[in-house]
Amino acid sequence: MRNLIGIAVAGALLAACATAPTHDDRVDEAQAEIQTLAQDPLAQQAASRDLEEARARLQDAQNALQAHQPLSTVEHLAYLAQRHAEAGLARVQAEHSRVALARAQEERTQILLAARAREAQGAQNQVQSTRAELAQTQQELADLKAKQTDRGVVVTLGDVLFDTGQATLKPGADLALDRLASYMTANPQTKIVVEGHTDSVGTDEYNDALSQRRADAVAHALIARGVSADDVRAIGRGKNYPVATNDTAAGRQQNRRVEIVFSDQNGRFAQGANMPTGR
């Protein structure tokens, strides 16, 4: 009889073991979330404590399941493991957002720095270009033997441009005129006044007319070389403004001349805002 009772108890125990659950859905869900958290590159940096707690609670749940503890105990431990995993995932997501924001800010900073560097380089290039243009302009004026006067920059062309008493340009004038035209083309904001001058030989009427024809001849030659007619004015000054004595041949030769008066780069002359009409 006792044997029969022992066999019955053993059979009941075996049946209970056979029907005890070997896994739980809540445990499986917690394990899956923990694996997701653990695989994230930022998990150890942002959520190491959450990951550690989640793994510990999952182990407790698995141990309870293997020990056939009540299902409520197993699922509560699995719930705790899952919550720790969810908290870790939230921290990791926040860290991803922070890193992305920091990267975006860094990229924006780099873009701004690159733009400023380009602007600075552009400004430097502009300064260098302006300096080069100024140096070229100064060299061109030096080639023309320009002088700074109270009327502005003045280039003097001697009477070798014309035969005595004539207003027809001689071939020897080509080089000076070519240089003048080149300078004017390179400096389109500049304007000039072409002034014709004579010595004192002859009447006032004769010298006034001759000086005007000579100024016109130079102006027309420059216009023919591409200088805008709007940038050139020809004025005959006659014998009224000598630069040397008319009592000697050498002095009269200096007085027979054509002067080119230059404006500044804004088209303004030293004696006024517009093209001068007289001294």
Residue-level pLDDT at 13: 43
Binned average pLDDT, 10 residues per bin, the chain of 279 residues = 47 45 86 95 94 95 95 95 95 94 93 92 85 72 83 85 84 90 92 94 95 95 96 96 94 92 90 58
Token pair for 93 = 């997501």
CA distances from 77 to 70, 80, 155 (A): 11, 5, 102
Q: Tell me if 197 sits within 8 A of 259, measured CB to CB.
A: yes
pTM score, two decimals?
0.54
Residue-level pLDDT at 277: 59
Residue-level pLDDT at 14: 43
Residue-level pLDDT at 18: 44
State the Cα–Cα distance between residues 207 and 107, nearest whole angstrom: 76
**Domains, the chain, with CATH or none:** 2-100 (no CATH), 144-262 (3.30.1330.60)
206, 155, 232, 136 alpha-carbon torsion, rounded to 10°: 170
